């Protein structure tokens, strides 16, 4: 390289108007033929490349585009298809590819889990008894397409071998060397073919390098990259890391590659400390991840130029590339359609396209320090940041004072769990193995249409309120007929568990088109926390009190917890995340107190995203867990001992954080476990859990109705390690996406299973 270059690491797949999502769903619904699908997908893919070309990005990634997920792409490229899909070998067909992602009539889908600590989900490859083969060189195919059709000399992107293996399943720890030996020749072949094609740079993503790796891990990684360098010595490899700082810095920068990409946003402190202490190799290019690829705020460009000047002390500009901190997959496409936002907000937003503009501007600013147009752009950026930071939305002194004195806020229940449990048993007089649901009931097309009519003004507030009350009344009656012990109002007024609260709290705004991919074709539009979060008025009291008026059984109040609201939003970046969490918690506490004052004395504060917020490095876990637990307790600690606090979580390698979950001090926790029930039970064999707990007894993600016998078996397994006096019976998760008939049938079977177990099981004989 002869001068500072710009690069991108990956571009959003979904399209400005979610064209990608619509094409996938049209194919799945048989509304378009496969040939038409492939043609339109190619147009979309080329348009994304052309946009980056027109913006002036020097190194444009290719093969970052996917028809579902990049881990699934890699598995398919190596013919890693579980036997249940009857794969005949060769290039994996589109139907088999999507069957792996979504399941088919005869074969359940592959597991899906979070991509590191992001809100993106990947498909987990299954390596059980499979010998990999290179079915197609996808990076080469993508490179040729870009070169031939757009004249772009692209930078092929490939998930690194060690990251791919670490994120796969179906093998034992002792098989590492065997697996590496199987895959390494295939990776070498890919790189050799890229080198022969004339590719200049290939980006190999190894985000696993920022996790808590052992010395043995690094030895294996060193072996891998020595072999890959020998296979294609003329190819420039950019070894790309992101999401945090490199764990073994000296060993990583010593690898036989030509470039190292570092996250200088989320891994800024440690990566800079490493460079200050150890320098940076004189024979390598630095991929400087300066622009935040995970959040939507405009960068402080003057600050970034200062950082570039600091970096130039370790690496001259001619051996430096300016790029995002990670792929732009995690942010929306463009702010161009956000026409309803005020200028104060809009001018400090940067989605994917705007982040590319920032990268190019920084590259030009270094090359031409005296350019007046660049100076004007930099001053415009600084003025926008000054305005938002001076905004009254970020100057709520009463909120900031409470957060600064957070240690003076009540954060512990008045009584111990043992004391509360006796009082709550006397108050509620529930049977052993009480039955309940997680919160939501089916949101039918009728419910969605009603909400749309209300939002567009076709319905008045009163019409919509009447409709919601009719739905609540219907489902309160159904729950009583089914025989549930603790009821819920159904959440028919809510589109999304975070959006609902964000719309009612101060400090949030919502985009018109700020969609990001969550998994497959599912896109979400996260709320944006831009100012100090404050309680304005009760948010859930009216519907919950109405539901309670219809029954003598207890109705749970339903809230989303502070950590889930935080982790599923785009969060302001001018103050630490923990302070934002405390603000949300203090606002939710007022809602909890309002519910209790209104006579709702079972309150569920859901935290499905608690575990996914864990930092990548284990050494950082405890600090996060400390403030996450404190946030939950701030929201729930001020209620009476007779008020029962529930929470709900998704299955999350429970054993890793069981002590922190116990520290939440919730009276009852329900956990989504049906797909990993055995693994969770093993955790309870090793760790005692002494609060109320419900393990999902059936999987709500499937339309099938489990029979009573199946659920009895699940209960029986759970009670082999859990105290029946503390056990609750509930579905795995909320029922919003399920059909009405299947929901009623499944809940009837669940109640019958609980009754059957109460009557017949010897486990309960001493309790009955």
Which residues in 573-591 are b (16+ Cβ under 10 Å) and which e? Answer: beeebbbbbbbbbbbbbbb
The helix/strand/coil state of 49 is helix
Helices (H), 347-396: 352-367, 372-389
Annotated active-site residue in 229, 248, 687, 701: 701
Contact call for residues 12 and 333 (beta carbons, < 8 A): yes
| C-beta of residue 531 within 8 angstroms of C-beta of residue 396 | yes
User: Is 282 marked within a binding site?
Assistant: no
**Which CA distances in Å does 697 have to 431, 555, 717, 737?**
18, 21, 10, 18
Find out whether 438 is annotated in a ligand binding site: yes
**Helix (H), strand (E) at residue 686:** helix 677-686
Give Cβ neighbours of residue 158 (< 8 Å, ≥ 6 apart): 63, 74, 139, 187, 190, 202, 203, 204, 205
**114 known ligand binder:** yes
Is 111 assigned a ligand-binding role in the annotation? no
CA distance 332 to 315: 32
Place of tokens 């229940």: 413
119 marked among binding-site residues: yes
Residue 617 annotated as binding site: no
Site of tokens 């001068």: 3
Q: Which residues of 231-266 are buried (b: 16+ CB within 10 A; e: fewer)?
A: bbeebbbbbbbbbbbbbbbebbbbbbbbbbbbbbbb
Q: Is 531 annotated as a binding residue?
A: no
SS3 560: strand
Where is 749: in which H helix or E strand? helix 740-760
To the question of whether residue 419 is assigned a binding role by annotation, the answer is: no
612 marked among binding-site residues: yes
DSSP-derived 3-state class of residue 556: coil
Tracing tokens 């020998």 back to the chain, one arrives at 230
Half-sphere exposure of 87 toward its Cβ, with a 13 Å CA cutoff?
Answer: 26
Q: Is 197 part of any known ligand binding site?
A: no
Q: Could you give the dihedral angle defined by the CA atoms of residues 84, 89, 94 and 98, in that order, rounded to the nearest 10 degrees?
A: 20
Rounded-to-integer distance, Cα 193 and Cα 616, Å: 34
Q: 672: annotated binding-site residue? A: yes
Q: What is the DSSP string of 497-533?
A: TTHHHHTTSEEEE--SS--EEEETTEEE---EEEEEE
CA end-to-end span of the chain: 78
Please check if 515 is assigned to a binding site.
no
The Cα 547–Cα 556 span in angstroms is: 9
- Annotated binding residue at 369? no
687 is catalytic: no
Tell me the CA distances in angstroms from 351 to 294, 296, 385, 646, 758, one per residue in order.
10, 5, 16, 37, 55
Is residue 685 part of an annotated ligand binding site?
no
Burial of 184 (0-12, 13-18, 19+ CB in 10 A): middle
Pairing of strands 121-123, 112-114: antiparallel
Do the annotations mark residue 732 as ligand-binding? no
The reply to whether 440 sits in an annotated binding site is yes
Is position 704 annotated in a ligand binding site? no
Residues marked active site are found at 701
Q: Residues at the annotated binding site for 5-methyltetrahydropteroyltri-L-glutamate?
A: 18-21, 114, 119, 522-523, 568, 612
Q: Residues at the annotated binding site for L-homocysteine?
A: 438-440, 491, 606
Q: Residues at the annotated binding site for L-methionine?
A: 438-440, 491, 606
Q: Residues at the annotated binding site for Zn(2+)?
A: 648, 650, 672, 733
Q: Residues at the annotated binding site?
A: 18-21, 114, 119, 438-440, 491, 522-523, 568, 606, 612, 648, 650, 672, 733
């Amino acid at each position: 390289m002869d001068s500072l270059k710009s690069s991108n690491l990956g571009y959003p797949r979904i399209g400005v108007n979610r064209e990608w999502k619509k094409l996938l769903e049209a194919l799945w619904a048989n509304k378009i033929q496969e040939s038409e699908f492939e043609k339109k997908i190619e147009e979309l893919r080329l348009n994304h490349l052309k946009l980056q070309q027109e913006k002036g990005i020097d190194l444009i990634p290719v093969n970052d585009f996917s028809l579902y997920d990049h881990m699934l792409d890699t598995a398919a490229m190596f013919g890693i298809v579980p036997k249940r899909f009857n794969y005949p070998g060769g290039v994996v067909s589109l139907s088999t590819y999507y069957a792996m992602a979504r399941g088919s009539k005869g074969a359940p889908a592959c597991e899906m889990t979070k991509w590191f600590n992001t809100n993106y989900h990947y498909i987990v490859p299954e390596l059980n008894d499979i010998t990999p083969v290179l079915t197609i060189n996808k990076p080469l195919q993508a490179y040729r397409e870009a070169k031939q059709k757009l004249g772009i000399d692209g930078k092929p992107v490939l998930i690194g071998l060690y990251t791919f293996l670490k994120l796969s399943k179906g093998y034992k720890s002792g098989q590492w060397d065997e697996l590496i030996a199987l895959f390494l020749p295939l990776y070498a072949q890919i790189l050799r073919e890229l080198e022969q094609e004339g590719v200049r740079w290939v980006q190999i993503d190894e985000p696993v390098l920022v996790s808590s790796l052992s010395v043995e891990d690094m030895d294996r990684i060193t072996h891998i990259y020595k072999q890959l360098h020998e296979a294609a010595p003329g190819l420039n490899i950019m070894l790309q890391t992101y999401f945090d700082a490199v764990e073994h810095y000296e060993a990583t920068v010593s690898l036989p590659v030509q470039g190292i990409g570092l996250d200088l946003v989320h891994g800024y402190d440690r990566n800079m400390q490493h460079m200050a202490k150890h320098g940076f190799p004189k024979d390598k290019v630095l991929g400087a991840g300066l622009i935040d690829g995970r959040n939507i705020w405009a960068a402080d460009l003057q600050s970034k130029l200062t950082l570039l000047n600091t970096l130039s002390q370790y690496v001259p500009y001619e051996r430096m590339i300016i790029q995002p901190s990670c792929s732009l997959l995690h942010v929306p496409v463009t702010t161009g359609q956000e026409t309803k936002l005020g200028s104060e907000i809009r001018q400090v937003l940067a989605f994917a396209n705007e982040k590319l503009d920032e990268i190019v501007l920084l590259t030009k600013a270094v090359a031409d320090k005296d350019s007046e147009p660049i100076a004007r752009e930099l001053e415009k950026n600084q003025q926008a940041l000054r305005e938002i930071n001076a905004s009254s939305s970020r100057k709520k002194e009463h909120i900031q004072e409470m957060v600064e004195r957070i240690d003076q806020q009540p954060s512990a229940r008045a009584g111990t769990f043992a004391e509360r449990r006796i009082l709550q048993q006397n108050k509620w007089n529930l049977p052993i193995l009480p039955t309940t649901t997680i919160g939501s009931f089916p949101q039918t097309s009728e419910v969605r249409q009603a909400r749309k009519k209300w939002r567009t003004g076709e319905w008045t507030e009163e019409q919509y309120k009447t409709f919601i009350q009719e739905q609540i009344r219907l489902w309160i009656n159904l729950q009583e007929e089914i025989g549930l012990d603790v009821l819920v109002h159904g959440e028919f007024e809510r589109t999304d568990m975070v959006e609902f609260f964000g719309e009612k709290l101060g400090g949030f705004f919502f985009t018109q088109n700020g969609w990001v991919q969550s998994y497959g074709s599912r896109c979400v539009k996260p709320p944006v926390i831009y100012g100090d979060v404050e309680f304005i008025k009760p948010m859930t009291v009216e519907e919950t009190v109405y539901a309670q008026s219809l029954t003598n059984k207890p109705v749970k109040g339903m809230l989303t917890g502070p950590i889930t609201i935080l982790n599923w939003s785009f969060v302001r970046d001018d103050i630490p995340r923990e302070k934002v969490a405390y603000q949300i918690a203090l606002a939710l506490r007022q809602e909890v107190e309002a519910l209790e004052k209104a006579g709702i004395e079972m309150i569920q504060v859901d935290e499905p995203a608690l575990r996914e917020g864990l930092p990548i490095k284990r050494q950082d876990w405890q600090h996060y867990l400390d403030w996450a637990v404190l946030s939950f307790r701030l929201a729930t600690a001020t209620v009476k001992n007779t008020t029962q606090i529930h929470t709900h979580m998704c299955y999350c390698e429970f054993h890793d954080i069981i002590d922190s979950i116990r520290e939440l001090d919730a009276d009852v926790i329900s956990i989504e476990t049906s797909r990993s029930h055995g693994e969770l039970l093993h955790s309870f064999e090793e760790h005692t859990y002494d609060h109320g707990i419900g393990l999902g007894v059936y999987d709500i993600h499937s339309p099938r109705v489990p029979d009573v016998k199946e659920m009895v078996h699940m209960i029986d397994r759970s009670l082999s390690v859990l105290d029946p006096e503390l056990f609750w019976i509930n579905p795995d998760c909320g029922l919003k996406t399920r059909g009405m008939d299947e929901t009623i049938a499944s809940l009837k079977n669940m109640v019958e299973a609980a009754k059957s177990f109460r009557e017949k099981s010897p486990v309960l004989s001493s309790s009955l």
